Amino acid sequence: MEKIKVAIIGCGTIANSAHIPAYMKNEKAEIKYFCDIIPERADAAVEKYGVGKAVYDYKEVLADPEIEAVSICTPNYMHSVIAVDALEAGKNVLCEKPAARILSEAKRMLEAAERTGKILNIGVCNRFHDSVTRIKEYIDEGRLGEVYHVYASFRAHRSIPGLGGAFTTKAIAGGGALIDWGVHFIDLILYCVGDPKPLTVSGTAFSKLGVDMKNYTYESMWAGPPDYNGTYDVDDSVVGIVRTEGPVVSLNGAWAQNIGKSEMFIDFMGTKAGVRLEYGGHFTLYTAEHGALVEYTPKFEIKNMYEKEIDSFLDCVRTQEGNRADIRKIIHSSEIMQALYDSSDLGREVVVE
């Protein structure tokens, strides 16, 4: 079968660590363009991977009728603009998470997908993680009974990425710890419990440890060194509670906090059994059997979730049928994040319409 011609728009960290290697390994696809407004990045990708052509304006990519699919790996503020343009140009789109900076942008993307009938997937990679898949199966089979509460802890000690850069500038990223890390946890939970509609959201997003940039002490910094002349106006921690048509979801997250633990896990509390998922890793099932309490921790090999994500996206491109990462499925995550930021600004609970 002929290979799907693909373009990578945005050749930064997530493109190089996840999307590009996954396309390179996948026999269904062929990368035709590496696109980045920073020409060096596009050029470097061509050289590194030995395929494709470097371009610097995404509109050039969209103008090529051979291109069937694009991966959007730009900073968040360009997600909705490029995704809508691409859909309207008849392309199928895989857009990195979060869908967008704010809910209205995400809705515009959803509308464009519905209007054009093309595929729009969001890079909610955890929906393709083997542990998550198993937990969802357990829940669907009723092994946990009623899941009534899910608690997500995504708390690191001092892990602000690229202080002063794109990650910490609201106009570019839309937010901080919540939009960058929280989105994974919220989306993963919603997926496992059947994508229930959110009802009420109350929470606070704090911007406390990064604001005094010069005095922010850290052990290591991912996503680049600090830019002390840059901007820091995003949340570095967040707490919230979400009522849904299904379980209550509570969140406690931090890029940075003065508690020296890294507690990255999700607890699914069911009436028959519960599950603690160590984020990105394995899980333990807690249940009762024959009158005794039992812990059960399977340690299977976890396949690369990005490869599965890309492979499933390519199947969607072929079949033109939606999968678990379809924008329709993940719009609730955007609603919840928007409501959390709104609730934080207002100092009170927000009812999701």
Q: Which is closer to a copy of itself, CB of 117 or CB of 291?
A: 291
- In DSSP notation, 132-172 reads HHHHHHHHHTTTT-SEEEEEEEEE-SB--SSTTSGGG-HHH
Quick one: which segment of 102-110, 147-155, 305-313, 326-334 binds a copy of itself (CB under 8 A)? 147-155
Give the nearer residue to a copy of itself in terms of CB position, either 183 or 273: 273
Under the criterion CB under 8 A, does residue 38 sit at the interface with a copy of itself? Answer: no
Region near a copy of itself per CB under 8 A, out of 31-39, 115-123, 166-174, 200-208:
200-208
* Minimal distance, residue 221 CB to a copy of itself, in Å: 10
Between 30 and 130, whose beta carbon lies closer to a copy of itself? 130
Count the Cβ atoms, other than its own, within 10 Å of residue 234. 25
Residue choice 65, 140, 148, 321 for contact with a copy of itself (CB under 8 A): 148
Q: Which two tokens stand for residue 105?
A: 């942008």
Q: Cα torsion for 88, 91, 92, 94, to the nearest 10°?
A: -90
Using CB under 8 A as the binding rule, whether residue 219 contacts a copy of itself is answered as yes
Q: Which of 255, 282, 283 is nearest to 268 (CA)?
A: 283
Distance between CA atoms of residues 216 and 337, nearest Å: 26
Nearest to 264 by CA among 252, 279, 286: 279
**x-or-dash string of contact with a copy of itself, 259-278, rule CB under 8 A:** xxx-----x-xxxxxx-x--
* CB of 295 vs a copy of itself, minimal distance in Å: 4
Cα–Cα distance for residue pair 304/55, rounded to 1 Å: 29
The span from the CA of 311 to the CA of 131, in Å, is 18
CB nearer to a copy of itself: give 77 or 286.
Answer: 286
Among 11, 144, 317, 336, binds a copy of itself (CB under 8 A): 144
Where do we find the tokens 């009534």? Answer: 148
Residues between 223 and 262 that touch a copy of itself (CB under 8 A): 237, 239-241, 243, 248, 250, 252, 254, 257-261
**Nearest approach, Cβ of residue 350 and a copy of itself (Å):** 9
CA 319 vs. chain centroid, Å, equals: 24
Residue 49 found at the interface with a copy of itself (CB under 8 A): no
Amino acid at 251: L
Minimum separation from the CB atom of position 224 to a copy of itself (A): 16
Q: Kindly tell me the sign of the dihedral angle through the C-alpha atoms of 333, 337, 338, 342.
A: positive
Structure tokens at 4: 């799907």
Tell me which DSSP letter residue 214 carries.
G
Q: Which one, 77 or 216, has the nearer CB to a copy of itself?
A: 216
Shortest spacing between CB 141 and a copy of itself, in angstroms = 16
Task: In angstroms, give the least distance from the CB of 110 to a copy of itself.
Answer: 27
The residue with tokens 């991977």 is 49
Buried b (16+ CB within 10 A) or exposed e, 57-76: ebeebbeeeebbbbbbbbbb
Dihedral-angle region of residue 118 (phi above 0 means left; psi in -120 to 50 means alpha; beta otherwise): beta
Place of tokens 């009522």: 243
Closest distance of CB 25 from a copy of itself, Å: 16
- Minimum distance between the CB of residue 349 and a copy of itself, rounded to whole angstroms? 3
Considering the complex, what minimum distance in angstroms separates the CB of residue 250 from a copy of itself? Answer: 5
In terms of CB distance, is 94 or 147 closer to a copy of itself?
147
**How many Å apart are CA 177 and CA 181, to the nearest integer?**
5
Which residues sit at the interface with a copy of itself, rule CB under 8 A? 144, 146, 148-149, 151, 157-158, 199-200, 202-204, 206, 208-209, 217-220, 237, 239-241, 243, 248, 250, 252, 254, 257-261, 267, 269-274, 276, 284, 286-288, 291-301, 347-349, 351
